[in-house]
């Protein structure tokens, strides 16, 4: 395995860990966050650049939020995002990956504790591969 592949896998693991943290903290969902960002940008333009009235700006802002919220093309929740990232990942430690999937499937959802354990084992396996490559 090349160093660039190891770096890519480590970046994927960091992304998975970050999304798992968002699931655990119950952060605002991705499509809601995108809606708020769009609404804030529209409000910024409506009131500073176009100098619209407050009522027109509010209508545009609400319309922007609703349209982005409804049409957001990515997963609707952090759990869906986490599931997509974990599914797309090609593990180095296949045994721990299998154990994590069995624990997750048994609960009909994501088991964040099993994912954290798997992340640790996968990081250790990647470290071993990295030292073997040197």
pLDDT values of the chain reduced to their tens digit, one per residue, 134 residues: 788 888 899 999 999 999 999 988 888 898 898 999 999 999 888 888 878 888 888 898 999 999 999 998 888 888 888 888 998 999 999 999 998 888 877 555 678 899 999 999 999 999 898 888 76
Q: What is the pTM of this model?
A: 0.76
Please count the other Cβ atoms lying within 10 Å of the Cβ belonging to residue 47.
17
The values of phi and psi at residue 112, to 5°, are -65, -35
Nearest-Å Rg of the Cα atoms of the chain is 20
Euclidean distance between CA atoms 2 and 24, whole angstroms: 33
The values of phi and psi at residue 27, to 5°, are -65, 165
Q: Which of 93, 118, 123, 94 is nearest to 104 (CA)?
A: 118
Q: What are the counts of helices (DSSP H) followed by strands (DSSP E) for the chain?
A: 6, 0
Let me know the angle formed at the C-alpha of 85 by 84 and 90, rounded to the nearest 5 degrees. Answer: 115
- Residue 108's pLDDT is 58
- Residue 12's pLDDT is 96
- Residue 92's pLDDT is 92
- Residue 95's pLDDT is 93
The domain limits of the chain are: 3-133
The values of phi and psi at residue 73, to 5°, are -85, 0
- Residue 106's pLDDT is 58
């Amino acid at each position: 395995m090349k160093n660039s592949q190891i770096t890519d896998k480590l970046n994927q693991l960091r992304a998975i860990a970050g999304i798992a943290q968002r699931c655990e903290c119950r952060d605002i969902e991705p499509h809601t966050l995108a809606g708020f960002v769009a609404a804030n940008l529209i409000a910024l333009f409506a009131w500073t650049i176009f100098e619209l009235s407050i009522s027109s700006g509010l209508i545009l802002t609400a319309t922007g939020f609703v349209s982005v919220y409804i049409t957001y093309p990515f997963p609707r929740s952090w759990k869906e995002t986490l599931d997509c990232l974990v599914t797309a990942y090609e593990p180095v430690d296949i045994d721990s990956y299998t154990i994590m999937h069995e624990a997750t499937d048994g609960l009909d959802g994501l088991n964040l504790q099993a994912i954290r354990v798997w992340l640790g084992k996968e990081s250790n396996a990647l470290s071993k591969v990295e030292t073997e490559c040197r």
